[in-house]
């Protein structure tokens, strides 16, 4: 069994520690944040994590990750439910326009756990640290690697201390310094590809006061939509909480006012699908508005043709980030964590073969989602830019399935709906939606009858008026 150091003790570092400990490895997590971790769900919600600011943002946990926890870390899954997390199956929330759908056995996998990110990580942390073989050091920052030849043999802390390990896992997130560490250790760097998601998020948390959901739950895990200049989505959380996130173009300066609580509330009220949720008596806000931008789709893979670094494995956001709108990050990271544990069981020796297998499996896992996110973001950002600038948007060429056309057709065709749901939940790869002849034909048929009815959203003029406060009546 190996001695493993995991750098970064956030959601993916914890997931990796759990997966590796369950395979008998000795794991030490090194986490730079010195904060006292929360001991209750409520403390977790007010935990401040400057080194992982997305902790404060809305999270939906795709079925891929939820099923993985149910199947391989049942105590975490059950722990989430015991901590107040809900559970839904998306097949119970198919669009009303489809009528009664015919349930299939595989629909059972379209399960999602409904939880705030803070509760999710709190439970994962408790269950992980309860495992024999896992230790955590907080308040220490890794600043470099120790290497011998092409092999990483440990890490160096800011205070100069070197710690040996058979394997080092980089779970330091989207701001990983691994490129610098590799260069300083004389090891080949990674090929970094990135492109802006062109979106900034504004998020606020609420506690539901009404007995029944005060609005439609058209997404199962919540409600909301994507329109031609903004997106607004409500995420059901644990313990009768929910959050609402609004997404706009970063350069849409008129929307900067969404930082203000009153402007945020007016914008939610201007969005018919969500207005009821924030009506007086139905809920109360339990947080300020949290903004987050500077988001990239990014991929950091070994450079083709260069020797592979052995014993140093990036997972989670340090390997790949995708636009948060698609809710993929946690599922992708947890899948890599379990993949690494399985790989070490098959190839316990740290060598070229292990490094090659890790690279092949992780590349196959993340590249399709990265490419899908880039393509979707380009299409969505072009549409938003046209609307904001008052131009006619370019429509996708006929015969091409895009996220927008697939989602539109899903309201009219059960097969398309099921495929969209399975790809959104990461149970099928993006190619099953965008490069499938049957789906292409079905989407084409639906759209040949004209665009299906849109979900009700705020017009550009209405949203501008709501954010500026220049309203006749709200
Ligand atoms: C706005 C937003 C919304 C999102 N919504 C969703 C969603 O709905 N669903 C979903 O699945 N995903 C979502 N994501 C993505 C998800 O949050 C990330 O994929 C996830 O946090 C990645 O976890 P991680 O452990 O890899 O990195 P992080 O959570 O970023 O953690 C990295 C950790 O490493 C530590 N660290 C960094 N450097 C060092 C060092 N040198 N030494 C020691 N420790 C170090 C940091 O302190 C931190 O704790 C969202 C992201 C954003 C930005």
316 alpha carbon – ligand 1 mean position (Å) = 8
34, 38, 172, 315, best to mutate for ligand 1 pocket (most atoms within 8 Å of CB):
172
Is 200-294+460-468 assigned to CATH 3.30.9? yes
CB-ligand 1 contact for 424 (6 Å cutoff): no
CB-ligand 1 contact for 7 (6 Å cutoff): yes
Q: Enter the CATH code of domain 3-59+116-195+295-373.
A: 3.50.50.60
Tokens matching residue 406 = 């697939």
Q: Residue 368 forms beta bridges with which residues? A: none
CB-ligand 1 contact for 125 (6 Å cutoff): no
Residue nearest to atom 18 of ligand 1 (CA): 329
* pLDDT tens, per residue, the chain with 474 residues: 899 999 999 999 999 999 999 999 999 999 999 988 899 999 999 998 999 999 999 999 999 999 999 999 999 999 999 999 999 999 999 999 999 999 999 999 999 999 999 999 999 999 999 999 999 999 999 999 999 999 999 999 999 999 999 999 999 999 999 999 999 999 999 999 999 999 999 999 999 999 999 998 999 999 999 999 999 999 999 999 999 999 999 999 999 999 999 999 999 999 999 999 999 999 999 999 999 999 999 999 999 989 999 999 999 999 999 999 999 999 999 999 999 999 999 999 999 999 999 999 999 999 999 999 999 999 999 999 999 999 988 877 778 899 889 999 999 999 999 999 999 999 999 999 999 999 999 999 999 988 777 889 999 999 999 999 976 544
CB-ligand 1 contact for 151 (6 Å cutoff): no
Contact 300, 320 (CB under 8 A): yes
Residue nearest to atom 9 of ligand 1 (CA): 327
13 alpha carbon – ligand 1 mean position (Å) = 9
Q: Do domains 3-59+116-195+295-373 and 200-294+460-468 have the same CATH topology?
A: no
428 alpha carbon – ligand 1 mean position (Å) = 24
Q: Quote the pLDDT of residue 474.
A: 43
- pTM score, whole prediction: 0.96
Domain boundaries along the sequence of the chain: 3-59+116-195+295-373, 200-294+460-468, 381-448
């Amino acid at each position: 069994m190996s001695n493993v150091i995991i750098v970064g003790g956030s959601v993916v570092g914890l997931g990796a520690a759990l997966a590796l400990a369950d395979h008998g490895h000795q794991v030490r997590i090194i986490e730079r944040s010195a904060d006292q971790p929360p001991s209750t769900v409520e403390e977790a919600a007010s935990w401040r994590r400057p080194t992982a600011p997305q902790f404060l943002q809305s999270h939906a946990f795709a079925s891929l990750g939820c099923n993985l926890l149910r199947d391989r870390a049942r105590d975490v899954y059950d722990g989430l439910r015991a901590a107040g997390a809900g559970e839904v199956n998306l097949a119970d929330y198919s669009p009303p326009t489809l009528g009664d759908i015919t349930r299939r056995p595989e629909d059972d996998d379209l399960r999602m756990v409904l939880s705030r990110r803070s509760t999710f990580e709190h439970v994962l942390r408790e269950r992980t640290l309860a495992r024999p073989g896992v230790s955590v050091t907080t308040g220490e920052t890794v600043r470099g690697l120790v290497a011998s030849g092409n092999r990483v043999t440990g890490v160096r802390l800011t205070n100069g201390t070197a710690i040996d390990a058979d394997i080092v896992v980089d779970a330091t997130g989207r701001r990983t310094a691994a490129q610098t560490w590799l260069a300083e250790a004389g090891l080949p760097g990674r090929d970094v590809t990135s492109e802006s998601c062109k979106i900034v998020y504004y998020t606020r948390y609420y506690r539901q006061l009404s007995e029944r959901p005060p609005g439609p739950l058209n997404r199962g895990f919540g409600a909301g939509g994507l329109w031609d200049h903004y997106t607004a989505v409500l995420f059901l959380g644990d313990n009768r909480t929910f959050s609402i996130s609004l997404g706009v173009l970063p350069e849409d300066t008129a929307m900067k006012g969404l930082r203000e609580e009153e402007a945020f509330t007016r914008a939610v009220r201007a969005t018919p699908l969500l207005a009821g949720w924030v009506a007086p008596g139905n809920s109360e806000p339990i947080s300020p508005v949290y903004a987050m931008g500077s988001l990239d789709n990014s991929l950091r893979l070994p450079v083709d043709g260069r020797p592979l670094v052995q014993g140093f494995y990036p997972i989670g956001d340090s390997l790949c980030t995708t636009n948060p709108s698609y809710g993929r990050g946690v599922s992708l990271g947890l899948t890599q964590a379990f993949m690494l544990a399985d790989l070490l069981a098959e190839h316990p020796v740290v060598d070229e073969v292990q490094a090659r297998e890790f690279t092949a499996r992780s590349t196959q896992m993340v590249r399709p989602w990265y490419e899908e996110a880039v393509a979707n973001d380009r299409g969505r950002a072009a549409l938003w830019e046209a609307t904001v600038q008052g131009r006619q948007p370019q429509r996708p060429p006929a015969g091409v399935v895009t996220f927008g056309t697939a989602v539109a057709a899903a309201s009219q065709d059960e097969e398309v709906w099921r495929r969209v749901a399975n790809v959104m939940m990461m149970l099928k790869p993006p190619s099953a939606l965008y490069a499938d002849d049957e789906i292409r034909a079905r989407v084409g048929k639906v759209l040949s009858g004209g665009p299906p009815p849109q979900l009700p959203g705020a017009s550009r003029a209405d949203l501008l008026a709501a954010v500026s406060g220049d309203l006749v009546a709200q």
